[in-house]
Chain A
Amino acid sequence: MTKEEKYKLAKWAVQYAIENGANEAKAGVYESQSSSIEVREKKIDKLEQSAQSALRISLYVNNKYSVHSTNRLNNKVELERLIKEAITGTRFLAEDEYRTLPEADLYFDGDYKDLKNFDSDFLAIDPQEKIDIAFNAEKEVLGKDDRIISVTASYYDGMSSSVMVCSNGFEGDTANTYYGVNVMVSVKGGDARPESYWNESSIYFKDLKTKGIGEIALKRGLDKIGQSKIESNEMPMIVENRVVGQSLSPLISALSGSAIQQKNSFLIDKIGEKIGSDILTIVDDPFIVSGYGSKMFDGEGLNLKKRSIIENGILKSYYIDTYYAKKLNMSPTSGATSNIIFKPGTKDLKEMVSALDRGILVTGFNGGNTNGTTGDFSYGIEGFLIEDGKIVKPVSEMNITGNIIDLYMNLVEAGNDVYDKSPWRLPSLRFNNVDFSGL
Chain B
Amino acid sequence: MDRRKFIKTGTVAAAGSMVLPSFLHAYDNIKISGDMNSYLDHFGVSTEVIRKVIAEGMSKGGHYADLFFEHKISNSISLEDGKVNKAYSNVDFGVGIRVLKGDQTGFAYSETVDTVSMINAARMAANIADSPRDFKQGDVTEKLPANYYKISRKWESVSVEDRIPFVQKINDKIFSLDEKVSKVKASLSDESGYILFYNSEGLLSYDYRPMVSLRVVCTMQKGDQIENSYSARSFRTGFEWLNEDVMDELAKEAIDKTNILFDATKPKAGEMPVVLGAGGSGILLHEAIGHTFEADFNRKGTSIFSDKMGKKVAESFINIIDDGTLEYNRGSINIDDEGNEVKKTYLVKDGILNSYIHDRISAKHYGVDPTGNGRRQSFRHIPLPRMRATYMENGPHSREELFENVEYGVYVDNFSNGQVNIGAGDFTFFVKSGYLIEKGKLTDPIKDINIIGNGPQALADISMAANDYKTDEGTWTCGKNGQSVPVSLGLPSVLVKKLTVGGTS
Please list the residues of chain A having a beta carbon within 8 angstroms of any beta carbon in chain B. 40, 43-53, 64-72, 74-75, 77-78, 81-82, 85-86, 89-90, 92-96, 99, 149-150, 152, 186, 191-195, 224, 227, 229, 232-234, 262-264, 327, 366-371, 373-374, 376-380, 382, 396-401, 435-439
User: Could you say which residues of chain B place their CB within 8 Å of the CB of A263?
Assistant: 182-183, 219, 221, 226
Contact of B159 with A by CB under 8 A = yes
- Contact yes or no, A149 B302, CB < 8 A: yes
Residue on B with the closest CB to A400? B502
- Contact yes or no, A75 B15, CB < 8 A: yes
User: Could you say which residues of chain B place their CB within 8 Å of the CB of A370?
Assistant: 448
Give 29 CB contacts A-B under 8 Å.
A45-B104, A46-B382, A65-B87, A68-B90, A70-B93, A71-B94, A92-B161, A95-B85, A149-B423, A186-B300, A193-B303, A193-B422, A194-B421, A232-B270, A262-B219, A263-B219, A264-B217, A367-B287, A367-B452, A368-B419, A371-B447, A380-B426, A399-B450, A399-B452, A399-B500, A401-B502, A401-B503, A435-B269, A437-B501
- Contact yes or no, B424 A439, CB < 8 A: no
Least CB distance, A278 to chain B, in whole angstroms: 26
- Contact yes or no, A229 B500, CB < 8 A: yes
Selected from A40, A99, A437, the residue in CB contact (under 8 A) with B270 is: A437
Complex Cα–Cα for A436 and B450 (A):
11
Complex Cα–Cα for A71 and B380 (A):
12
Q: Mark B483-502, 1 if CB is under 8 A from A, else 0.
A: 00000000000000000111
Give the interface size bracket for B toward A: 35 or more
- Contact yes or no, B112 A46, CB < 8 A: no
The stretch among B28-36, B45-53, B122-130, B234-242 that forms the contact with chain A is B122-130
Complex Cα–Cα for A70 and B93 (A):
8
Least CB distance, B502 to chain A, in whole angstroms: 4
- Contact yes or no, B15 A78, CB < 8 A: yes
Q: Mark B287-299, 1 if CB is under 8 A from A, else 0.
A: 1000000000000
Q: Mark B435-470, 1 if CB is under 8 A from A, else 0.
A: 000000000000111111110100000000000000
- Contact yes or no, B91 A264, CB < 8 A: no
Least CB distance, A362 to chain B, in whole angstroms: 13
- Contact yes or no, B269 A399, CB < 8 A: yes
User: Could you say which residues of chain B place their CB within 8 Å of the CB of A399?
Assistant: 269, 428, 449-452, 500-503
A75-B15, A380-B428 given; name 20 further pairs at CB < 8 Å. Answer: A40-B300, A45-B105, A46-B105, A49-B124, A50-B380, A82-B91, A93-B77, A93-B84, A95-B85, A99-B85, A194-B421, A194-B424, A195-B302, A234-B505, A366-B452, A367-B452, A373-B227, A380-B452, A398-B500, A438-B269
- Contact yes or no, A367 B270, CB < 8 A: no
Contact of B430 with A by CB under 8 A = yes
Whether A89 contacts B426 in the complex (CB less than 8 A), given A234-B505, A401-B502, A438-B500, comes out as no
Least CB distance, B443 to chain A, in whole angstroms: 19
- Contact yes or no, A186 B108, CB < 8 A: no
Please list the residues of chain B having a beta carbon within 8 angstroms of any beta carbon in chain A. 10-11, 14-16, 77, 80-81, 83-94, 103-109, 111-112, 121, 124-125, 127-128, 159-161, 164, 182-183, 185, 217, 219, 221, 226-228, 266, 268-271, 287, 300-304, 306, 380, 382, 416-430, 447-454, 456, 500-505
- Contact yes or no, A439 B271, CB < 8 A: yes
User: Main SS of the interface on chain B?
Assistant: strand
Least CB distance, B234 to chain A, in whole angstroms: 20
Complex Cα–Cα for A72 and B421 (A):
39
- Contact yes or no, B302 A150, CB < 8 A: yes
Whether A94 contacts B83 in the complex (CB less than 8 A), given A373-B228, A397-B452, comes out as yes
- Contact yes or no, A149 B91, CB < 8 A: no
- Contact yes or no, B227 A435, CB < 8 A: no
Selected from A66, A72, A369, A437, the residue in CB contact (under 8 A) with B91 is: A72
- Contact yes or no, B219 A93, CB < 8 A: no
Least CB distance, B382 to chain A, in whole angstroms: 7
User: Could you say which residues of chain B place their CB within 8 Å of the CB of A96?
Assistant: 83, 85-86
User: Main SS of the interface on chain A?
Assistant: strand
Residue on B with the closest CB to A184? B302
User: Could you say which residues of chain B place their CB within 8 Å of the CB of A68?
Assistant: 88-90
- Contact yes or no, A439 B270, CB < 8 A: yes
- Contact yes or no, A48 B107, CB < 8 A: yes
Complex Cα–Cα for A9 and B495 (A):
60
Least CB distance, B188 to chain A, in whole angstroms: 13
User: Could you say which residues of chain A place their CB within 8 Å of the CB of B504?
Assistant: 401, 435
Selected from A66, A86, A229, the residue in CB contact (under 8 A) with B86 is: A66
Least CB distance, A249 to chain B, in whole angstroms: 14
Least CB distance, B397 to chain A, in whole angstroms: 27
Selected from B91, B108, B219, B424, the residue in CB contact (under 8 A) with A70 is: B91
User: Could you say which residues of chain A place their CB within 8 Å of the CB of B269?
Assistant: 232, 399, 401, 435-438
Selected from B182, B382, B417, the residue in CB contact (under 8 A) with A367 is: B417
User: Could you say which residues of chain A place their CB within 8 Å of the CB of B382?
Assistant: 46, 48
Whether A48 contacts B108 in the complex (CB less than 8 A), given A149-B301, A397-B500, comes out as yes
Of the candidates B91, B302, B423, the one having the most CB atoms from chain A within 10 angstroms of its own CB is B423
Residue on B with the closest CB to A438? B500
Least CB distance, B290 to chain A, in whole angstroms: 14
- Contact yes or no, A377 B448, CB < 8 A: yes
User: Could you say which residues of chain B place their CB within 8 Å of the CB of A435?
Assistant: 269, 503-505
- Contact yes or no, B505 A193, CB < 8 A: no
Least CB distance, A52 to chain B, in whole angstroms: 6
Complex Cα–Cα for A140 and B240 (A):
58
Whether A378 contacts B93 in the complex (CB less than 8 A), given A48-B108, A93-B84, A437-B269, comes out as no
Selected from A71, A78, A227, the residue in CB contact (under 8 A) with B111 is: A71
Complex Cα–Cα for A66 and B93 (A):
21
Residue on A with the closest CB to B164? A92
- Contact yes or no, B452 A376, CB < 8 A: no
Least CB distance, B115 to chain A, in whole angstroms: 14
- Contact yes or no, B93 A71, CB < 8 A: yes
Residue on A with the closest CB to B86? A65
- Contact yes or no, B429 A93, CB < 8 A: no
- Contact yes or no, A367 B429, CB < 8 A: yes
Residue on B with the closest CB to A228? B454
- Contact yes or no, A378 B107, CB < 8 A: no
- Contact yes or no, A378 B300, CB < 8 A: no
Residue on A with the closest CB to B422? A195
User: Could you say which residues of chain B place their CB within 8 Å of the CB of A398?
Assistant: 452, 500
Least CB distance, A187 to chain B, in whole angstroms: 8
Whether A438 contacts B107 in the complex (CB less than 8 A), given A149-B301, A264-B228, comes out as no
User: Could you say which residues of chain A place their CB within 8 Å of the CB of B84?
Assistant: 93-94
User: Could you say which residues of chain B place their CB within 8 Å of the CB of A234?
Assistant: 505
User: Could you say which residues of chain A place their CB within 8 Å of the CB of B304?
Assistant: 191-193
Complex Cα–Cα for A400 and B160 (A):
45
Complex Cα–Cα for A66 and B86 (A):
5
Least CB distance, B304 to chain A, in whole angstroms: 6
User: Could you say which residues of chain A place their CB within 8 Å of the CB of B428?
Assistant: 366-368, 380, 399
- Contact yes or no, B92 A71, CB < 8 A: yes
Complex Cα–Cα for A123 and B447 (A):
52
Complex Cα–Cα for A247 and B272 (A):
26
Residue on A with the closest CB to B417? A369
Residue on A with the closest CB to B85? A96
User: Could you say which residues of chain A place their CB within 8 Å of the CB of B81?
Assistant: 327
Residue on A with the closest CB to B268? A232
Residue on A with the closest CB to B121? A49
- Contact yes or no, B124 A233, CB < 8 A: no
Least CB distance, A130 to chain B, in whole angstroms: 12
Complex Cα–Cα for A64 and B86 (A):
8
Of the candidates B91, B125, B226, the one having the most CB atoms from chain A within 10 angstroms of its own CB is B91
Least CB distance, B323 to chain A, in whole angstroms: 25
User: Could you say which residues of chain B place their CB within 8 Å of the CB of A379?
Assistant: 450, 502
User: Could you say which residues of chain B place their CB within 8 Å of the CB of A397?
Assistant: 426, 452-454, 500
Of the candidates B429, B453, B504, B505, the one having the most CB atoms from chain A within 10 angstroms of its own CB is B505
Least CB distance, B100 to chain A, in whole angstroms: 10
Complex Cα–Cα for A72 and B108 (A):
18
Selected from B125, B128, B159, the residue in CB contact (under 8 A) with A92 is: B159
Complex Cα–Cα for A14 and B105 (A):
41
- Contact yes or no, B90 A69, CB < 8 A: yes
Selected from A52, A82, A229, A380, the residue in CB contact (under 8 A) with B450 is: A380
